[in-house]
Amino acid sequence: MPTRTPMPRALEPACGPHHTPARRAIDRAVARQTLGDLTDAYQWAVYARTLAHRATPPAEQLDAAALLAPLAAVNGHADQAVTAYRDLADLATAHLGAGHERTLYARAGLAQARHRVGCCDQAIRDLADVYTTAAHRHGPDAPVSLNTLTELACLYRDCGWPDVAHRCLAAATTIANRYLPSGDPLRARITDTAGTPASSNHRAVCTQARWS
Ligand SMILES: [Zn+2]
């Protein structure tokens, strides 16, 4: 779908006298998302990001970008999701630092967005680098490290590298079993990922050509 800036419905009265227009749009996007209206939430998020420009506080810019990127992806705007995640990663790096968890998650989201449009080599390379940075800065047992390693396994699996995917998941399982309690949802996610087959949807865009 073409990238555009849809104007949502007219602004309603302000939620609070101290809220900026960008913050009000962020709040409305969150409210629509909570109600499950992802299309409207996406439009409000686009609007919020246009309002949260350089003159607004960095926290508003980050919050708007962090809303917009996943909403673009879930609404099927794959190319815009790449742009939005790149924007988010740049903002997070500038305001929080390269090693911050939010920055690492933003870069992981960018890698996933690139993978969805067939930039497989770059996506895998970038996500592997995110994992290396996360493990070095936060430890291999940190949620950001284990989530990234599990997601890296998904990218390898969907690109037709089941052996590499299995090695990533085996390492994640070993770390999770050693450091996380038995009921931790991250352990369940790793187990679920190990039992999930490669995505047939990715084959249409995959540029790895590893399929037999
Ligand atoms: Zn691929």
75 and 127, same structural domain?
no
**Ligand 1 centroid distance, CA of 155 (Å):** 7
As a whole number of angstroms, the distance between CA 126 and CA 48 comes to: 28
Residues contacting residue 170 through CB under 8 Å, at least 6 positions apart: none
134 and 76, same structural domain?
no
pLDDT in tens, 135-157: 999 999 999 999 999 999 999 99
pLDDT in tens, 152-210: 999 999 999 999 999 999 999 999 999 999 899 999 999 999 999 998 889 999 998 66
pLDDT in tens, 21-77: 999 999 999 999 999 999 999 999 999 999 998 778 899 999 999 999 999 999 999
How many Cα neighbours within 13 Å face the side chain of 108? 26
Radius of gyration of the chain (CA): 18
CB 168 within 8 A of CB 156: yes
Asked if the structure places residue 8 within a domain, the reply is no
* The last residue of a domain, from among 29, 62, 96: 96
**Ligand 1 centroid distance, CA of 47 (Å):** 32
CATH at 84: 1.25.40
* Whether the predicted pLDDT of 134 surpasses 90: yes
141 and 89, same structural domain?
no
CB 62 within 8 A of CB 92: yes
Asked if the structure places residue 88 within a domain, the reply is yes
Query: Tell me, what amino acid is at 11?
Result: L
Asked if the structure places residue 70 within a domain, the reply is yes
Asked if the structure places residue 110 within a domain, the reply is no
Range of the domain at 47: 18-96
Q: According to the model, what pLDDT value does residue 211 have? A: 53
Asked if the structure places residue 42 within a domain, the reply is yes
**Ligand 1 centroid distance, CA of 82 (Å):** 15
Angle formed by the axes of helices 120-138 and 101-116, nearest 10° = 160
Asked if the structure places residue 174 within a domain, the reply is yes
Task: Count CB atoms within 10 A of the CB of residue 205.
Answer: 14
**Ligand 1 centroid distance, CA of 135 (Å):** 24
Structural domain count, the chain:
2
